[in-house]
C-alpha cells in the first residue's frame, strides 16, 4: 500500500532541467570570457603576488 511513495513527483524534473541549463550557459560564458583574456594579463596577475615581500619596510630596507 505504501510502496509507491518513492516514485517521482509529477513535473518536478523541471527544476532539474532548468538548473542544468543555467549551469551550462553560465559555464560556457565563463569559459569563453576567460579564454579570450590576454595571456599577458594573466601572467602579470599571478606574478604580482610573489612581490609582496619586496615592499620595503623601514627595518629591512
Partner 1 sequence: MEDQKVIYDNKTVKLFILATLVWGIVGVLVGVVIALQLRFPAFNFGLEFTTFGRVRPVHTNAIIFAFVGNAIFAGVYYSMQRLLKTRMFSDLLSKFHFWTWQLIIVLAAVTLLLGFTTSKEYAELEWPIDILIALVWIAFGVNMIGTTVIRRVQHIYAAIWWYIATFVGVAILHVVNSFELPISLFKSYSLYSGAQDAVVQWWYGHNAVAFFLTTPFLGLMYYYLPKAAERPIYSYKLSIIHFWSLIFLYMWAGPHHLLYQALPDWAQALGVTFSIMLIAPSWGGMINGLLTLRGAWDKVRDKAELKFLVVAVTAYGMSTFEGPMMSIKFVNQLTHFTDWTIGHVHIAGMAWNGGIVFGMLYWLVPKLFRTKLYSEKLANAHFWIATLGILIYAIPLYWSAVTQWLMLREYTPEGFLAYPNFLETLTQILPMYTFRILGGTMFMIGFLLMVFNLAKTMKAGSMVAQEEAYAPVLVELGARDPKKEGMHRFLERKSVRFSIVAFIVLAIGGAVEIIPMTFVKSNVPTIEAVKPYTPLELAGRDIYVSEGCYNCHSQMVRPFRWETDRYGEYSKIGEFVYDHPFQWGSRRTGPDLARAGVVGGPMYKNAAWHYNHFMDPQKMNEQSIMPKYSWLAEKDIDLDIIPVKIRAMQKLGVPYPDGFDKIAVDDLKKQASGIVADLKASGITADPNKQIIAMIAYMHKLGRDISTPAVNDSTNMATAKVVVETLPTTPADLNSGKEIFGKLCASCHGPEGKGQATFPNLTDDVWIHGGTPTDVVNTITNGYPVKGMLPFKSQLSDQQIKQVASFILNSLKK
Grid cell digits, residue 20? 542544468
Establish if 45 lies at the interface with partner 1 (CB under 8 A): yes
Query: Does residue 40 bind partner 1 (CB under 8 A)?
Result: no
* Separation CA 25–CA 21 (nearest Å): 6
CB of 5 to partner 1, least distance (A): 5
Residues that bind partner 1 (CB under 8 A): 2-9, 12-13, 15-16, 18-20, 22-23, 26-27, 30-31, 33-39, 41-43, 45-50, 52, 55-59
Amino acid at each position: 500500500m505504501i510502496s509507491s511513495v518513492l516514485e517521482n513527483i509529477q513535473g518536478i524534473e523541471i527544476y532539474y532541467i532548468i538548473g542544468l541549463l543555467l549551469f551550462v550557459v553560465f559555464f560556457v560564458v565563463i569559459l569563453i570570457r576567460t579564454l579570450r583574456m590576454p595571456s599577458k594579463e594573466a601572467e602579470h596577475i599571478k606574478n604580482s603576488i610573489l612581490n609582496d615581500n619586496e615592499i620595503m619596510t623601514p627595518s629591512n630596507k
